[in-house]
Structure 1
Amino acid sequence: MTTTNEITPSVKEEKNDILTVIIASSAGTLIEWYDMFLAIIMASTLSVNFFAADGSHFLETLAVVASSFMIRPIGSLIFGSIGDRIGRKYSFLLSLIIMGASTFLIGCIPSFASIGWAAPILLLVFRLLQGLAISGEYAGAVIYVAEHAPKNRRGFYTGFIQATVPLGLLICLLVVYLVQSSMSAEDFISYGWRIPFLLSSVLVILSYFARKKLHESPVFEELKKQGKTSKSPVKDAFKAKGNIALIFKAIFGGNAAQSTVMQTSLFVTLFFLQRAVLLPETTVLLITTVVTFCSAYFYQYFGHLSDKIGRKKVLLGGLIASLILIPTAFYLFMEIGNPDGLTEIHEISASATLQLMGISFLLSVAGAATYGPLGAFMLELFPTNIRYTSMGFAQNMGNGLVGGATTFVTELIKTSFIVSAVMAPYIGLIYPLAIVVIAIIVNAFFVPETYQRDLTDDSINDD
């Protein structure tokens, strides 16, 4: 299948093979997620290199790293406008270049010992640029793939884009693990941490040339031919009757919760096992890597399932499962990983490691159910002429600003609230659980079903 069945056959255009579209789009998005996640995975090492050696600066480093999520709504308006006025392809090509350059430059920042406070400031600047880049990348890739796909396969095809999140993290974990394993801990902290950042530039260049060969999406080309593209997508996105309501439904009906569930199942889990359960870093990386690999399939699976039974049913099922599994999983992490309340880093048995993997896997599958259908659901909410801007803004407000703050906010709550010793490790989970509860209510009662929508329909889908 080379074009969407929603485009009239009279359109004469250069066409992309759907397999080429999926591979080129997914590869670029995967690399951008690799770049985005790398600083989170390396937060502990970055805190040692980019801040003064006068105590722990982990929370400050997380704040800098989280800044990339905070700026994403602004970036979505910039790249959304480009995507809706000029084309989907050009927007995510530009985002790929910015992301690649920013990641490479993070690997070049001198340490705090060499340039003082300029080090964390430069890290902040490059993380903000990464935030701008990913804000244009994800929405563009999902829309580009969907606008090539047949109506009854949009969830299936966009599911490959959804799966780039765990795959990007998996590659990130593997690269970090291999580099760490090849040298001493001192050498890794001194210079080895730079290698995963610098390596990204090679992957970005290869992806750029693969994407450059692609043609524009057929849906957008038809819109452009008919002179129906928006001249002011940002203005139209906020002034079109009913569209702001859709944006809020998209943010709070699934997008923010999806992000917070994913952040919790991946990074909050990783930090919890490291800093609360006190497991060795190699053990934590092993658990996270195996779980990420095993759960990657389910992102595409749930996207495909949503083609058959609807986006809402799959998304709501994932949200309810997450509400149950998040508190259960973290309680079991502690009970299995540190039942004696040890205060030093300690090894655990192979059996305990496998049990932690199994629990973490269930949590990740619930996250996959919330994320798998989300790309198709988001793009189907909005009309074609303002789709990139509207989806991008909603996605980056929910996924970036609200849900993206999960890792930082959970750590902040844990260090700020005085509670009993029994509750102390878990108090930060209040944030993701509250967002999930809100999403269940909004999704169940206010969000429309979208999976049967014609992508060429320019009406506001607020049924």
Structure 2
Amino acid sequence: AESPVFQKMKDEGTTSKAPLTEAFGQWKNAKWVLIALLGAVAGQAVVWYTGQFYAMFFLEKILLVDGATTNILIALALAIGTPFFIFFGWLSDKIGRKWIIMAGCALAVLTYFPAFHALSNAANPAMTKASESAPVTVTVNDNDCSLQFDPIGKNKFDSKSCDIAKSYLAKNAVSYTVVDAPAGTIASVKIGDKVITAPDPSKVTGDEKGAAIKAFGGEVITTLEAAGYPVKDNPAAAKDPKAAKKILYADPAQINKPLVVAILTYLVILVTMVYGPIAALLVELFPSRIRYTSMSLPYHIGNGWFGGFLPTTAFAMVAATGDIYYGLWYPIFVAGLTLVVGILFLPETFRRNIDD
């Protein structure tokens, strides 16, 4: 059924005859669409995706916690945090929508780095300790490297030595720093005192290239293990001859699960702060004759693009720099943008009459 206000407009014949033109073609309405997108929904989206989806990606793919444990820890945090959606929705009816959303964005900007550092220490302390005592460096010319932005997961990144080295380390969650080298330099990885040169795809092709890449990965993982990084036998290697024999991992016995759940719960609570009031704010922001059309664009662009591309964009940033926390700059920048635009231009709406 339609909402009472819209049903009344339909009965009276006062609905918009051209909602797209009225919503987006007239600046007096289009400006509120932009303010809603940049001053509310974009920040809400990246805080939501960081707190739930990127936190899960970070835990499993970067900190190397096994999938079952990751899902259980995330589920516990969601179970604890979910009632706060209702709480912040209720609170926004009392004190307003805007400042709760702005507070969630501000906390994200201020605390994402310490929160994810704490998550690393709690979930994989051995990896954190090893990366400090035996740092990894990659010597490359950055202009020779591809941007490893791969939203559909089809690119192999094996046409350049730089890509092979960075892709291997990034996919195995090894943090590294980049040492710049002259153009044309074959990429190399240094772990402690040992230097391992990546394969040169201009000299090896086909099966020979695949074998060289596998040998390179085997030498890197063996050196990492000798340097104190947590390594175990890969159970997939028994069935798949192409699989690596050893892999990095997070030792389940060393995971501080209560602390991990506490950190994840905090991230979920930030999600509830920005998401609990957002639907009411969007409804109240636009006039009823073009409400649905007007709020659809900022909501879906904000969540679908700003939020949806977050994991892929963050991983590309990690692969480019070698810093496992560098991808957090994406949600921090977007949440910061929303904070500025929202404070300056977003009105408080909770006392507005939505029947207009």
| TM more than 0.5 | yes
Instruction: Give the number of the structure whose residues are more often strand, by fraction.
Output: 2
Q: Is the 8 A contact 1:319 1:439 kept in 2?
A: yes
Structure 1 match to 2:58: 272
Q: Is the 8 A contact 1:280 1:347 kept in 2?
A: no
Q: Is the 8 A contact 1:322 1:367 kept in 2?
A: no
Matched, 1:237 2:141: no
Return the letter of the residue paired with 1:374. Answer: I
Distance 2:301 2:121 in 1: 35
Matched, 1:443 2:342: yes
Deviation at residue 382 of structure 1 after TM alignment: 0.5
Deviation at residue 418 of structure 1 after TM alignment: 2.9
Structure 2 match to 1:256: 42
Deviation at residue 358 of structure 1 after TM alignment: 0.1
| SS class of match (1:322) | helix
- Once the two structures are superposed, what CA deviation does each residue of 1:94-153 show, in whole Å capped at 9, x if it has no partner? xxxxxxxxxxxxxxxxxxxxxxxxxxxxxxxxxxxxxxxxxxxxxxxxxxxxxxxxxxxx
Distance 2:336 2:300 in 1: 20
| SS class of match (1:242) | helix
Distance 1:395 1:355, change over 3 A: same
Matched, 1:353 2:139: no
Structure 1 match to 2:307: 403
Return the letter of the residue paired with 1:322. Answer: A
Deviation at residue 363 of structure 1 after TM alignment: 1.1
- Once the two structures are superposed, what CA deviation does each residue of 1:207-239 show, in whole Å capped at 9, x if it has no partner? xxxxxxxx3221111111221111221111112
> Matches of residues 199-210 of structure 1 in structure 2 within 5 Å?
none
Matched, 1:456 2:355: yes
Return the letter of the residue paired with 2:72. Answer: L
Give the ranges of 4+ consecutive aligned residues of structure 1 lying more than 4 Å apart after TM superposition. none
- How many residues align structurally? 238
Deviation at residue 304 of structure 1 after TM alignment: 0.9
Distance 1:250 1:307 in 2: 19
Distance 1:427 1:366 in 2: 20
Q: Is the 8 A contact 2:123 2:250 kept in 1?
A: no
Q: Is the 8 A contact 2:318 2:324 kept in 1?
A: yes
Distance 1:377 1:225 in 2: 26
Structure 2 match to 1:418: 321
- Once the two structures are superposed, what CA deviation does each residue of 1:375-424 show, in whole Å capped at 9, x if it has no partner? 10011111111100000011111111222211221112222x134xxxx1
- Once the two structures are superposed, what CA deviation does each residue of 1:36-79 show, in whole Å capped at 9, x if it has no partner? xxxxxxxxxxxxxxxxxxxxxxxxxxxxxxxxxxxxxxxxxxxx
Instruction: Give the number of the structure whose residues are more often helix, by fraction.
Output: 1
Structure 2 match to 1:381: 285
Q: Which runs of 5+ in 2 are unaligned?
A: 128-229, 232-247
Q: Is the 8 A contact 1:298 1:368 kept in 2?
A: yes
Q: Which runs of 5+ in 1 are unaligned?
A: 1-214, 458-463
Distance 2:77 2:262 in 1: 8
Deviation at residue 340 of structure 1 after TM alignment: 1.9
Matched, 1:365 2:269: yes
Deviation at residue 348 of structure 1 after TM alignment: 3.0
Q: Is the 8 A contact 1:325 1:363 kept in 2?
A: no
Return the letter of the residue paired with 1:226. Answer: E
Matched, 1:428 2:327: yes
Distance 1:366 1:382, change over 3 A: same
| SS class of match (1:360) | helix
Return the letter of the residue paired with 1:399. Answer: N
Structure 2 match to 1:336: 122
Once superposed, what is the RMSD of the aligned Cα atoms?
1.5
Query: Which protein shows a greater Rg?
Result: 2
Deviation at residue 349 of structure 1 after TM alignment: 4.0
Q: Percent identity?
A: 32
Deviation at residue 350 of structure 1 after TM alignment: 8.1
Distance 1:325 1:356 in 2: 15
Distance 1:308 1:350, change over 3 A: farther
1:390 corresponds, among 294, 308, 320, to 294
Deviation at residue 240 of structure 1 after TM alignment: 3.3
- Once the two structures are superposed, what CA deviation does each residue of 1:186-218 show, in whole Å capped at 9, x if it has no partner? xxxxxxxxxxxxxxxxxxxxxxxxxxxxx3221
